[in-house]
Amino acid sequence: MIAVVLGLIIIILIIIFSVQNAAPVAISFLAWRFEAPFEIIIFLAVLSGVLVMQLLQRWGRKKPSKNG
């Protein structure tokens, strides 16, 4: 229950931060360069972090134990 409440608080803070920083920003990565609203960049960064953590947790659970 605490994790759900903490998750909701973090989501609300991210939403507030994103709405207050909606100016377009230039993004460059390797050969790519584009402009996007800062709120979209924040959303994609948070989403990718959540997905990476989920994948790492699932990989850790499926790893065979060394005890048996």
- DSSP state letter for 64: P
How many angstroms separate the CA atoms of 23 and 38, rounded?
Answer: 6
Is residue 36 classed as helix, strand or coil in its secondary structure?
strand
Structure-token pair, residue 56: 């790492």
Q: What is the model's pLDDT at position 52?
A: 92
Spacing of C-alpha 16 from chain mean position? 15
Q: What is the pLDDT of residues 33-45, one digit of tens each?
A: 989 888 888 888 8
Nearest to 38 by CA among 16, 63, 21: 21
Domain boundaries, the chain: 22-61
Q: Could you tell me the pTM of the whole model?
A: 0.59
At 14-33, the pLDDT tens digits run: 788 878 877 888 988 888 89
